[in-house]
């Protein structure tokens, strides 16, 4: 384990979202001074942006343990029914605002403070000698210009929601995307509320295949019931909709399963114009100012689109840590060690085994990315995962290795495998997808995978066998 600068400097936390604030609570519990930098003008700025969305995890999964203890010491009352599903706005107002404004934290969060870059005092990325003893330096942009802050360690919990993926299946903005930006929104706009006027009575294209796309489509379906003329078009890259529709009643989070079920019902009822296998190649305006959306692979074209909602996921901002020594997975942009646990190409069950500081560490001692950002481009991050990451990293920062390594996390399964759904469901004990999380072999992704490895096979075959490059430390030969 690497040393960190042994000074009285605080730990800097980037982002006052649910995981950044949880990290602050764990650090305080461990007796470490902490300074949180939040780009927004108030806590949990990303959740504020999609406040209308009802979360699919109930309150009991959404409150961090150290944060709960801190709040309860100050007289906070938890929600009466912790089995209820809050909206993002309710989570923010009833839990995150009280936490950020608590006696313990209020002086330690700086708002309107966007961290631009992180390095080490007097040591650039190339220089090795003295590196681990040099304090971190954060450059942050505030109302008074760019300032610097020194820290003994840095926890980056800045999320990914601020960097939505573009429309192109190749990961780049397609020709026409920038030019037609006025007719495109990213993420989860408030279709039934603040943005209603933009979508009511329009022909709207939703692009994407995750929970955000499902939420947008369901909101548009409700709008279509209320406002005649609202037409819903849905384009997905893949052909097989089973994964999109989710695990239904097998999902450990019933509301998440229900989202997919509702989408399935809308699709089967023909209330959506569905285009599968449709990778967008180009967007062009027609004479009436509507959009034509062209397939990248064939002559297909979706005509007459008035608005596009791109629910195509998000990616981490890697610029922040450009000057630090990072070991990132080549395609997910998570840490290398975390990638095999969360890669949607390989991972079958949507169940992520517990992980903590070891999987999250980089060659740059004392720097960790946690929360939604830790997953890089992989979807399906859950707050509960981030809370356990925060607990483990805080323990590691004070050298309590027993606690840091004792990662415990029970995540609800999605009940969905990446391929071979029917076979997996049939073979899995108890009907759970692939049998659920592995029992003993921590490198396995599920029981089926564990059994296959025990029998000498390379794995369960749930996903395509894409070899991940092994990190090498030798310099020659």
User: Could you tell me the smallest distance in angstroms from the CB atom of residue 376 to ligand FAD?
Assistant: 12
- For CA atoms 457, 463, 466, 469, give the dihedral sign: negative
Of the candidates 218, 191, 212, 225, the residue with the CA atom closest to the CA atom of residue 307: 191
Of the candidates 105, 98, 114, the residue with the CA atom closest to the CA atom of residue 25: 105
Residue 458, number of CB atoms within 10 A of its CB: 10
- The two structure tokens encoding residue 340: 């095999």
User: What residues have CB less than 8 Å from 459, skipping those under 6 apart?
Assistant: 444, 445, 449, 452, 453, 465
Pairing type for strands 367-369 and 203-207 reads unpaired
User: Could you tell me the smallest distance in angstroms from the CB atom of residue 281 to ligand FAD?
Assistant: 27
User: Could you tell me the smallest distance in angstroms from the CB atom of residue 298 to ligand FAD?
Assistant: 32
- The two structure tokens encoding residue 97: 């605002």
What is the x/- site pattern for ligand FAD, positions 329-358, by CB under 6 A?
------------------------------
Q: Give CA–CA dist 105/111, Å, rounded.
A: 12
CB 417 within 8 A of CB 434: yes
Beta carbon nearer to ligand FAD, 65 or 453: 65
By CB under 6 A, tell whether 161 contacts ligand FAD: yes
By CB under 6 A, tell whether 67 contacts ligand FAD: no
Stretch that binds ligand FAD, among 11-19, 73-81, 258-266, 418-426 (CB under 6 A): 11-19
CB 134 within 8 A of CB 324: no
Beta carbon nearer to ligand FAD, 354 or 459: 354
Selected binder of ligand FAD within 11, 13, 25, 44 (CB under 6 A): 44
Stretch that binds ligand FAD, among 9-17, 223-231, 398-406, 440-448 (CB under 6 A): 9-17
C-alpha triplet 166, 171, 172: angle, nearest 5°: 65
What is the x/- site pattern for ligand FAD, positions 288-327, by CB under 6 A?
--------------------------------x-------
Selected binder of ligand FAD within 12, 55, 219, 279 (CB under 6 A): 55
Q: Give CA–CA dist 256/215, Å, rounded.
A: 10
CB 415 within 8 A of CB 92: no
By CB under 6 A, tell whether 212 contacts ligand FAD: yes
Beta carbon nearer to ligand FAD, 247 or 281: 247
List, in sequence order, every residue forming a beta bridge with 206; answer none if it has no partner: 234, 309
Q: Name the region of 335 (left: φ>0; alpha: ψ -120 to 50; beta: rest).
A: beta
By CB under 6 A, tell whether 50 contacts ligand FAD: yes
Selected binder of ligand FAD within 188, 259, 302, 310 (CB under 6 A): 188
Beta carbon nearer to ligand FAD, 115 or 460: 115
User: Could you tell me the smallest distance in angstroms from the CB atom of residue 123 to ligand FAD?
Assistant: 22
By CB under 6 A, tell whether 389 contacts ligand FAD: no
- Please report which helix (H) or strand (E) contains residue 404, including its range: helix 401-405
Beta carbon nearer to ligand FAD, 61 or 421: 61
What is the x/- site pattern for ligand FAD, positions 357-376, by CB under 6 A?
--------------xx----
CB 230 within 8 A of CB 223: yes
- For CA atoms 335, 372, 389, 419, give the dihedral sign: negative
State the residues that interact with ligand FAD by CB under 6 A: 14-20, 37-40, 44-47, 50, 53, 55-57, 114-115, 157-159, 161-162, 188, 212, 320, 371-372, 381-384, 386
């Amino acid at each position: 384990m690497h040393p960190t600068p042994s000074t009285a400097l605080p730990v800097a936390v980037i982002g006052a979202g649910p995981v950044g604030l949880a990290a602050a609570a764990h650090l305080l519990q461990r007796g470490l001074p902490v300074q949180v930098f939040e780009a927004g003008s108030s806590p949990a700025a990303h959740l504020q942006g999609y406040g209308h969305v009802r979360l699919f995890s109930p309150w009991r999964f959404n409150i961090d343990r150290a944060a709960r203890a801190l709040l309860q010491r100050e007289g906070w009352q938890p929600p009466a029914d912790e089995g209820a599903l809050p909206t993002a706005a309710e989570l923010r107002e009833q839990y995150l605002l009280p936490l950020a404004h608590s006696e313990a934290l209020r002086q330690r969060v700086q708002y309107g403070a966007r961290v631009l870059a992180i390095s080490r005092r007097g040591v650039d990325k190339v220089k090795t000698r003295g590196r681990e003893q040099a304090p971190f330096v954060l450059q942050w942009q505030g109302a008074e210009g760019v300032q610097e802050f020194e820290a003994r360690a840095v926890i980056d919990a800045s999320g990914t929601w601020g960097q939505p993926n573009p429309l192109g299946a190749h990961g780049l903005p397609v020709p026409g995307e920038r030019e037609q930006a006025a007719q495109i929104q990213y993420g989860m706009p408030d279709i039934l509320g603040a943005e209603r006027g933009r979508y009511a009575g329009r022909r709207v294209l939703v692009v994407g295949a995750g929970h955000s796309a499902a939420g947008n489509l369901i909101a548009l379906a409700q709008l279509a019931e209320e406002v005649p003329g609202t037409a819903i078009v849905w384009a997905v890259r893949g052909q097989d909709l089973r994964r999109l529709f989710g695990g239904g009643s097998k999902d450990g989070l019933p509301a998440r399963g229900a989202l997919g079920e509702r989408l399935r019902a809308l699709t089967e009822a023909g209330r959506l114009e569905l285009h599968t296998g449709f990778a967008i190649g180009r967007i062009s305006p027609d004479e009436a100012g509507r959009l034509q959306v062209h397939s990248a692979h064939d002559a297909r074209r979706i005509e007459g689109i008035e608005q596009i909602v791109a629910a195509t996921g998000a990616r981490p901002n890697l610029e922040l840590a450009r000057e630090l020594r990072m070991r990132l997975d080549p395609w997910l942009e998570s840490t290398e060690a975390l990638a095999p646990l969360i890669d949607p190409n390989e991972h079958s069950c949507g169940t992520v085994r517990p992980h903590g500081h070891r999987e999250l560490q980089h060659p740059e001692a004392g720097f960790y990315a946690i929360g939604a950002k830790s997953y890089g481009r992989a979807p399906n991050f859950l707050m509960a995962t981030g809370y356990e990451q925060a607990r483990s990293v805080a323990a590691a920062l004070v050298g309590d290795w027993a606690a840091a390594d004792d990662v415990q996390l029970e995540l609800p399964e999605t009940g969905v495998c990446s391929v071979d759904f029917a076979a997996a469901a049939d073979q899995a004990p108890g009907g759970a997808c692939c049998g659920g999380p592995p029992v003993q072999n921590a490198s396995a992704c599920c029981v089926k995978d564990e059994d296959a490895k025990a029998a000498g096979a390379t794995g369960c075959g749930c996903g395509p066998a894409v070899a991940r490059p092994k990190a090498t430390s030798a310099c020659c030969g």
